[in-house]
Structure 1
Amino acid sequence: YKIIVATETLESIEELEKIFEKYPKERIIVSVDVKNNELYTKHMDLNLEGFKEVLRRINPNEIILLDISSVGTEAGFNKELLDKFDEFKDKIILGGGITKDEIPLINELGIKKALVGTALHKGEIDISIF
């Protein structure tokens, strides 16, 4: 099993730290939810740079980088956002707006995992390519 901890619903950094103390690190995925190029959170007063500091400290094995603004749009992934998280690229699962044509580019950029819900549901991506 995997536990996904999303910034959207995270109450505090302390809560995240407690989760990392309680569960094995390899079972935890931190979802960095971004909306309009800002960290999306309902409960914390923290920006993207501040949360990157937290990520450096807790050092998760996997990070979902999810551009909520682009989910379901197939408008293309947010390259600017991805560039901001370049230091974590070996841990990133990229999501939000990804099209079938972008999968090779994402791979070339060093991202090995992507969330492709809408394109897959519409039949635009054949799962056998994975």
Structure 2
Amino acid sequence: MIILPAIDIHEGRCVRLFQGDYSTAEVVAGDPLETAEGFREQGAHWLHMVDLDGAKAGRPINHELILNTAETAGMHVEVGGGIRSMRTVEDYLMGGASRVILGSAALGDPEFVKEAVCAYGKRIAVGIDAIDGIAAAEGWTKKSGMDYIEVAKRMEGIGVQYIICTDIHKDGTQSGPNLEMLDKLNRAVSCNIIASGGVSSLLDIINLYDLGLYGAIAGKALYAGTLDLKAAVRVCHKFSG
């Protein structure tokens, strides 16, 4: 299992939200590039970056900042937030991102997702963010009315190979991931599942590893110091070996 430290960008700064609420945005680090380099020095090979402003606006807002980080950090970067067109997908992938995350588009424009997957295959991931098992969209501000498993199966049928699953109630809470939700998803589809939301400790990482997931995103726990990134990477490597 891979560990993906998270850098969420809001108004050009590294922030963390509580349960997806933009009004709770808390600045947790300084320069995104310096933060990314710190994660790399602790052994991370992947970085999860989200343009929070872009997610809300439906178009890239912090595009240049994210691509500059991707270009110079020396890590694989997956990026999401406001990616609603093939032009944006191409701009990110050609600009240095390793993988792009399609979120709201998976619900509102599955044909776009299919086009992106046909063009870029495993470099396309879909983010499924859920509240009480119901997928949310538009920067987590609207419920879709669709069960998260149903959305995942539709994406699997399109050819999506990577799904990032977030329980919004867990996001930013450090209360532990929703293991039941993640296990159910992992068993329902053949896609590689990346867990997001609630990670607070090394025990959470071990529990996620035991589910057989592909990856785990860690955010607030890293900034708060409750999760040692170097130890988490080492444990996953040891178990995998």
Tell me which interval the TM-score lies in, with the shorter structure as reference length.
Answer: 0.7 to 0.9
1:115 lines up with 2:115 in the alignment: no
Residue number in structure 1 paired with 2:104 = 7
1:28 to 121, 124, 142: 124
Q: Using the alignment, how far apart are the partners of 1:18 and 1:30 within structure 2?
A: 13
Kindly state the Cα deviation for residue 8 of structure 1 after the two structures are TM-superposed: 7.3
Tell me which protein shows more strand as a share of its residues. Answer: 2
> In structure 1, what is the Cα distance between the partners aligned to 2:191 and 2:117?
20
What is the total number of aligned residue pairs between the two structures?
Answer: 129
The alpha-carbon distance between structure 1 residues 90 and 30, as it changes in their structure 2 partners (threshold 3 A), is: closer
Residue 186 of structure 2 corresponds to residue 86 of structure 1: yes
Matched residue SS, 1:85: helix
Tell me which residue corresponds to 1:105. Answer: 207
In the alignment, the residues of structure 2 paired with residue 58 and residue 102 of structure 1 have an alpha-carbon distance, to the nearest angstrom, of 31
Q: CA RMSD in A?
A: 2.3
Q: Mark the structure with the bigger radius of gyration.
A: 2
Mark the CA change 1:17 to 1:8 in structure 2 (over 3 Å): closer, same or farther.
closer
Q: Which has the higher mean CA deviation after the structures are superposed, 82-91 or 108-117? A: 82-91
Cα distance in 2 for residues equivalent to 1:69 and 1:55: 23
- Shift of the alpha carbon at 1:16? 1.5
What percentage of aligned pairs have identical amino acids? 26
Question: Alpha-carbon deviation of 1:9?
Answer: 7.7
Query: How does 1:51-70 map onto structure 2 within 5 Å?
Result: 51-70=151-170
Q: Matches of 2:162 and 2:99 in 1, distance apart?
A: 10
- Supply the AA of the counterpart residue of 2:208: I
Query: Does the aligned pair in 1 maintain the 2:156–2:191 contact within 8 Å?
Result: no
1:48–1:96 CA distance, 2 compared to 1 (3 A): same
- Which structure 1 segments of 5+ residues have no match? none
Q: Verify the 8 A CA contact 1:62 1:91 in the aligned structure 2.
A: yes
Aligned-pair distance for 1:10?
5.0
Give yes or no for the alignment of 1:17 onto 2:114: yes
CA contact (8 A) 1:95 1:115 kept: yes
**Secondary structure, in 3 states, of the residue corresponding to 2:129?**
strand
